[in-house]
Structure 1
Amino acid sequence: MTPSATSILVGIAASPGIAIGRCWPVDRRKVRAPKRLLAPEEIENELARLRTALEISELQLAEVREKVERAPGTQGGAEHTAIIDMHRMMLKDEMLVLEAQRLIREERVNAEWAVKRATRKIKSAFHEQADEYFKERRADVDYVGERVIKNLLGQAPDVEEPPPEGAIIVAHDLSPADTALLLHERKVAAFVTDTGAKTSHTAIVARALEVPAVVGVGRITSLAGRGDWIAVDGSRGVVVINPTPGERVEYEVARERFLEAEQVLLRTRDLPARTLDDVTVRLAGNIEFVEEVPSLVAHGGEGVGLYRTEFLFIGRTELPGEGEQYQTYRRVLEALAPKPVTIRTFDLGGEKLPVGMRLPAENPALGLRAIRYCLRQPEMFRAQLRALLRASVHGNLRIMFPMISGVSELRAAKRLLAEVREELRREGAPVREEVPLGIMIELPSAALIADRLAEESDFFSIGTNDLIQYAIGIDRQNKDVAYLYKPLHLAVLRMLKLICDAAQVKGIPVSMCGEMAGDVMNTLVLIGLGVSELSMNGPAIPFVKRVVRAARAADGRALVERILSLTTADDIEREVRTEMLRRFPELLEAEATFGPVSG
């Protein structure tokens, strides 16, 4: 039903920007898989139906991929192809194919029901996961399963009717094939979905293509009909259905103001991020795919502060080989050379392992994962270290070990790296002579012995997302305790000061790659603490650079001294915000134009 009155909905701000246009619904309702018991003589025919549906699904995705590659002058196409390739691999996943075949043979159920059961089993492996990105991969399993089921039923799995240019796409959710076809065949203005998170593929691709998006709205598909006017504020997560004529004009003005302000900010792209008292802060990016590099550079990124290598594992049951890893790392390094690229070794274990390789764990976030898992799997770790060192000659590589809890772990990892380097030297493989080696500090134990770890490291990188959770003892995905997640908690600030002071004594740089780094309200505090590199999402860089260039490090140090004398997180937040708005009143204007600025 199309409402006659204006409706305002709030969701998750997934990709910044403002758009206004006509609603174009895309029906992604789940297909109903029928259940039927087979006669024994029907089993072979049903297995053949399954094989045919899998082959058709693969051909369809290959065709979508080809359309994306052929699309002229469309930024971010390779981002789509990476996700589509992941879905093509899922079609060959043994847990899907063999499980569906087993159900047909042993339980004598039809192929549609077997695929539904097999995908449900795979999804259950993702059910209780702390990492938001990996939670969202359950949707990818759904998309693959639904494509196969629709092909079994003779239904079209992809968007059939292309939307008009400038349409606002409204859907319950969208598959990578949907977003590929919608974005690369037509210039759509924005996306709005009932479901999803900042890490869903719709959000990832929308950010890469700089298309406004709001996800997780909840009921947009039940309220908006085709042709309704819709205004989308992707910076604040606000969607307005049927805005009044006056409101439409306001949104058009806001859109123009957003684009103009963005261009003003981008004028500083090639200027140094240096304070008024001559302290330089490197502003880098967090990436998962090499295809994010152009957007990062366009926003003034001075390198990569965190490249997450575990994304090589998404959608597969086997380990990526040394050769495949080498080519991936080489592409990233060459794309940014001579800028530094910090590549984090596998943060694997628990939920982050390929589905077929999972180990049972009651609390995978605190179990056998990251450096602990890598040291227990030396052959896997060796393959990654070999690939990294081989790729080092193609750019400015920095290697970072995650979740280090003590010096012994760091030394063990360094020994293995030295062995691999010597192995490559004997083989005659070219390797860069000096490759800086650092650690991610995300455990309170590492923060408390930062002085000892600094003696063994070339740099620190603070992973605030986990450090804050472990320090305060909360899961920020748990809505009952999420309110306690406070980056400016006194305990967190004291740990950050310990880390930065230890690094300063040893003369090594300190980076920060958590969400705290991209929140412009924290910039002066982080400069005052002595953080020398901030790594964030590309679009946040111009905002942070603007503050850095107008700030004095001495004022940051004074602010840090002042807030360390306070007691509660609320008092500290109030003091920091008051100081930031006093020194940088333009931040209020930025919030009015762009919404809360963070990366």
Structure 2
Amino acid sequence: MPRDRSHPRTHTYPPMASFTLHGIPVSRGIAIGRAHLLTPAALDVRHYLIAEENVEAEVQRLQQALAAVHRELQTLWNELPKDAPTELGAFIDVHALILSDPMISEAPLDIIRSRHYNAEWALLTQIDELSAQFDEIEDPYLRERKADIQQVAERVLKVLMGSEPLPTAITPAAGDEFQAQMIVVAHDISPADMLKFRDRSFIGFVTDVGGQNSHTAIVARSLDIPAAVGMSQASQLIKQDDWVIIDGDAGVVIVTPSALVLEQYRERQQAALRARKKLSKLKKTPAVTKDGTAITLLANIELPDDCPAALEAGASGVGLFRSEFLFMGRASDIPSEDEQFEQYRRAVAAMKGRIVTIRTLDIGADKPLDQSEHTALNPALGLRAIRYCLSEPQIFLTQLRAILRASAFGKVRILIPMLAHAFEIDQSLAMIEQAKAQLRELDIKYDPEVQVGAMIEIPAAALALPMFVKRMDFLSIGTNDLIQYTLAIDRVDYEVAHLYNPLHPAVLQLIAMTIAAGHKAGIDVGVCGEMAGDTKLTRLLLGMGLREFSMHPAQLLSVKQEILNSDLETVVPQTRKILRAMEPAAIAEAVQALQTM
């Protein structure tokens, strides 16, 4: 975990020359504030030898630090904000798994005993050895998670050194207009630390590493906070308390801007705030294109408590209820049928007759129920989602009964994730019928006509759509995983983040094929991944024929505005040209041109 290096401004420094950094835009908006640097605790580690009689005491000190970080991660998990993105819980689980691995929990203790290094030095020695021999590490999970290993080490070092990573405020220079507004600048920010930013005066993030789907990016979008990642040397070039401007739309960071530039960006910031206030007036406006085509806008939620925000944003219903949030961190206490039913019923009641689409348990591999579970060689390709549910039929049946029971209280749809094979579809449908039969035997009410849909997030599914449209009532495209699997990219691995591209022609073809197949079969097709909430892609998706978007509630009004300003008679022909294009530059240029049509 990065260590706090802030200090009061007690001196007046000569003005620094302004400079601009270019990175990856991941969250919209403009942030203006003072830089708060988070530098690695490893830079301040002392190296000294321990006397023989004090070795076991030093071992115990490191063990206590490891245990403290375990407790801290568990506390963070238990206190996850209800609006936290699903991936954030998975990131915390990953760190807990790494912390339990003998390479971290035991090897540094052996170094203390054999070499008499102090605890901090021993831990860093082990981390350095792991990093230097990364490709040869036997544990495949650790081999692919170098950044996570280093972040875990930072947390342990913080405990050993007694440092607090975040201040309550930076002492401002006299007369600073934005004295409480701070911008975090770091090489990287751990997902656990991200949770601590919510109650502080931080308004933006800048990191050296990261990509469109790094944890910093995911949380920044969820919190609707401007961020720019992949800035390379930002943490070394930016100084403590420097004035910093983040242009989240362009992925640009301006350091020590001139008075003229600062004023220009303040005006842009105020204009954006006015635009957002104007957006709020669209809450009750129907989502209809200029040519009169009605569009359905739904919300993605994790818990029933998210429903008020969805309604406040004007959502027509819930397009994705991520049910795994009810299960995470509860391996020894899996929610009972009654507990699950009550949560689903609450969501259905809160949406007041609007549709609620509940995705069945999407867990396993990189999102284990039990943090001590063995992680697969490649988590993204392992026992997860419907594969996990079909391997644990009692867990699956329990959840299906709970969902069906909730369907008696309102409009409910069941969404099955990660389907790829006909036998998976058939087994899932058979399990739903079994759950219905069990409820009938007990004379428990449910909606016998409840719709069942499939997530299209594996290229094989998009290429074999006839077997889906023949069996399912609706389809929902999970663009996050679809892009990941199509391009063979770990979407949270910053080292390949630059390759994650929703506009890759193969991705666009798969999405267009899915929408077209659904229309031909007369069934609804929606998008519930990140692309649905990206206003730069709204018209492109409309041109493909998409009529149902599901996204984080904070994105809904912006997308609605794009829909209201779109004319399909103009957008559709241009989209067809885009789908015929294969050159990235031509596609990007054409998509940008759509914004002005």
Query: TM-score over 0.5 for the alignment?
Result: yes
- Could you tell me how far apart the structure 1 residues matched to 2:343 and 2:107 are? 37
Measured after TM superposition, the shift of residue 259 of structure 1 is: 0.8
Q: Choose the corresponding residue for 1:225, options 234, 239, 263.
A: 239
Question: What TM-score do the two structures reach when normalised by structure 1?
Answer: 0.75
- Could you tell me how far apart the structure 2 residues matched to 1:387 and 1:35 are? 58
Amino acid at match of 2:158: K
- Could you tell me how far apart the structure 2 residues matched to 1:450 and 1:35 are? 63
- Could you tell me how far apart the structure 1 residues matched to 2:527 and 2:59 are? 52
- Could you tell me how far apart the structure 1 residues matched to 2:497 and 2:68 are? 46
Measured after TM superposition, the shift of residue 78 of structure 1 is: 4.7
CA offsets 1:153-199 (integer angstroms, 9 cap, x no match): 4x134435533512333334445675555542x53333333344455
- Could you tell me how far apart the structure 1 residues matched to 2:300 and 2:460 are? 24
1:167/1:475 Cα in 2 relative to 1: closer, same or farther (>3 Å)? closer
1:13 is matched with: 25
| 8 A Cα contact 2:483 2:500, kept in partner | no
- Could you tell me how far apart the structure 2 residues matched to 1:23 and 1:170 are? 6
1:150 is matched with: 158
State, as a whole percentage, how many aligned pairs show the same letter.
34
- Could you tell me how far apart the structure 1 residues matched to 2:348 and 2:460 are? 32
1:260 is matched with: 274
| 8 A Cα contact 2:283 2:312, kept in partner | yes
2:205 matched to 1:191? yes
Amino acid at match of 2:262: R
Measured after TM superposition, the shift of residue 211 of structure 1 is: 3.1
Q: Choose the corresponding residue for 2:100, options 92, 96, 102.
A: 96
2:550 matched to 1:546? no
1:35/1:435 Cα in 2 relative to 1: closer, same or farther (>3 Å)? farther
Amino acid at match of 2:203: A
- Could you tell me how far apart the structure 1 residues matched to 2:513 and 2:90 are? 41
1:38/1:337 Cα in 2 relative to 1: closer, same or farther (>3 Å)? farther
Superposed counterparts of 1:225-374, under 5 Å: 225-287=239-301, 296-309=310-323, 318=331, 321-323=334-336, 333=348, 336-348=351-363, 350-353=365-368, 356-358=372-374, 360-361=376-377, 364-366=379-381, 368-374=383-389
CA offsets 1:14-62 (integer angstroms, 9 cap, x no match): 432212223333444336486978969965x567646654675578789
- Could you tell me how far apart the structure 1 residues matched to 2:444 and 2:296 are? 32
Superposed counterparts of 1:151-550, under 5 Å: 151-153=159-161, 155-160=162-167, 162-163=169-170, 164-174=179-189, 183-184=198-199, 186-199=200-213, 202-287=216-301, 296-309=310-323, 318=331, 321-323=334-336, 333=348, 336-348=351-363, 350-353=365-368, 356-358=372-374, 360-361=376-377, 364-366=379-381, 368-392=383-407, 396-426=411-441, 431-467=446-482, 485=501, 487=503, 489=505, 495-550=510-565
- Could you tell me how far apart the structure 1 residues matched to 2:511 and 2:86 are? 36
- Where does structure 1 lack aligned partners over 5 or more consecutive residues? 70-75, 130-134, 584-599
| 8 A Cα contact 2:141 2:375, kept in partner | no
CA offsets 1:518-573 (integer angstroms, 9 cap, x no match): 44454344334432212234444333322322334455554555656667666565
Amino acid at match of 2:163: A
Aligned length: 561
Measured after TM superposition, the shift of residue 115 of structure 1 is: 6.9
Moved more, 434-443 or 194-203: 194-203
1:427/1:156 Cα in 2 relative to 1: closer, same or farther (>3 Å)? farther
- Could you tell me how far apart the structure 1 residues matched to 2:120 and 2:341 are? 39
Amino acid at match of 1:20: I
Moved more, 233-242 or 335-344: 335-344
| 8 A Cα contact 2:407 2:446, kept in partner | yes
1:373/1:301 Cα in 2 relative to 1: closer, same or farther (>3 Å)? same
- Could you tell me how far apart the structure 1 residues matched to 2:292 and 2:94 are? 51
- Could you tell me how far apart the structure 2 residues matched to 1:266 and 1:27 are? 39
- Could you tell me how far apart the structure 2 residues matched to 1:223 and 1:485 are? 29
Measured after TM superposition, the shift of residue 460 of structure 1 is: 0.6
- Could you tell me how far apart the structure 2 residues matched to 1:457 and 1:41 are? 67
Measured after TM superposition, the shift of residue 128 of structure 1 is: 6.2
Measured after TM superposition, the shift of residue 257 of structure 1 is: 1.1
Superposed counterparts of 1:79-118, under 5 Å: 79=83, 96=100, 109=113
1:152/1:487 Cα in 2 relative to 1: closer, same or farther (>3 Å)? closer
Amino acid at match of 1:435: V
Amino acid at match of 1:187: S
1:412/1:128 Cα in 2 relative to 1: closer, same or farther (>3 Å)? farther
| 8 A Cα contact 1:443 1:470, kept in partner | yes
| 8 A Cα contact 2:88 2:219, kept in partner | no
Moved more, 398-407 or 292-301: 292-301
1:349/1:273 Cα in 2 relative to 1: closer, same or farther (>3 Å)? same
- Could you tell me how far apart the structure 1 residues matched to 2:50 and 2:517 are? 67
- Could you tell me how far apart the structure 1 residues matched to 2:198 and 2:219 are? 10
Moved more, 563-572 or 429-438: 563-572
1:319/1:306 Cα in 2 relative to 1: closer, same or farther (>3 Å)? farther
Where 1:503 maps in the other structure, the secondary structure is helix
Moved more, 520-529 or 396-405: 520-529
